[in-house]
Amino acid sequence: MLNKVPEVTVYFWIIKILCTTVGESFADYVNETLGFGLGKTTVVFSVALVAVLVAQFRLRQYVPSVYWLAVVLISVVGTLLTDNLTDGIGVPLWVSTAAFAVALAVVFAVWYARERTLSIHSIITTPREAFYWLTVLVTFALGTAAGDWTLELTGWSAGASILLPLGLIAAVFAAWKLGAGPVLCFWLAYILTRPLGANIGDFLASARDEGGAGLGTLGTSILFLGTILAVVVYLSVTHKDRIERSAARAELAPDPVGDRQV
């Protein structure tokens, strides 16, 4: 197969943050505003996610529309996993954060033990793609739990809460520029964009008297879904986020140190 994921460009991070915002706002809209409840909302989006992932796995190369639809749905399901633990059965957020952190470490350990690389340039076999999507799901759940726990501890407003993940992402970027391992930096940034996107969504959806922009969960979801669609159409036409065949094939060989550029 050709590489099944996009190149890490500025477009990748823009859509990733947009997807995380949609994951927060759209889940809240369906769950609370439409009154589906956590259980039904989780079932609906989980079924949709499974259907899209089946389509994604059947493809032989990266297709922007299918890939990013899977990310949108997995962002919603990841949010709902944490919400079910917290609101459904009363698991403290610090426990959820610790549990998902351990789960992520286990997934990374098994993935690396089997494939000898965690680079997303190497997603050209079905096992690697399975590890990739499992990792993405756990990072969304972890980001949700860690972000909500931080807000619980600090009591910050929706606007102020954006600054912490934004600052941490800037620190990760600076570390990468100074020579830190690119694979490690990529996955740290990937986790941190989840609370960043969620906090942006909370700020936009919150009422003005609560310090937000007053768009509501539906307005925020429509705005960001429309933006995602526009960027995905642009990438589908220009192919600016395609990983070249030669670069992807070069990653097929086991990486002894696991720090190839992502």
Q: Please, are residues 195 and 150 in contact by the beta-carbon 8 Å criterion?
A: yes
Q: Which two tokens stand for residue 146?
A: 């860690």
> The pTM is what?
0.86
The Cα 192–Cα 169 span in angstroms is 6
Cα dihedral 115→116→120→123 (10° resolution): -20
Q: What does the pLDDT look like over 53-110, one tens digit per residue? A: 999 999 999 999 999 999 999 998 988 898 899 988 999 999 999 999 999 999 999 9
CB < 8 Å & 24+ apart, contacts of 65-69 = 65/232, 65/236, 67/4, 67/5, 67/6, 68/15, 68/19, 68/228, 68/232
Q: Domain-by-domain residue ranges, the chain?
A: 10-250
Mean pLDDT of 132-145: 92
The Cα 146–Cα 152 span in angstroms is 10
pLDDT tier, 205 (very low <50, low <70, confident <90, very high otherwise): confident
Three-state DSSP state, 7: coil
The Cα 7–Cα 119 span in angstroms is 11
Query: Distances in Å between the alpha carbon of 44 and those of 36, 38, 101, 109?
Result: 10, 10, 26, 31
**DSSP notation for 44-87:** HHHHHHHHHHHHHHH-SS--HHHHHHHHHHHHHHHHHHHHIIII
Please tell me the predicted confidence (pLDDT) of residue 32: 80
C-alpha dihedral sign at 201, 196, 135, 103: negative
Q: What does the pLDDT look like over 10-62, one tens digit per residue? A: 999 999 999 888 877 888 788 888 888 888 889 999 999 999 999 999 999 99
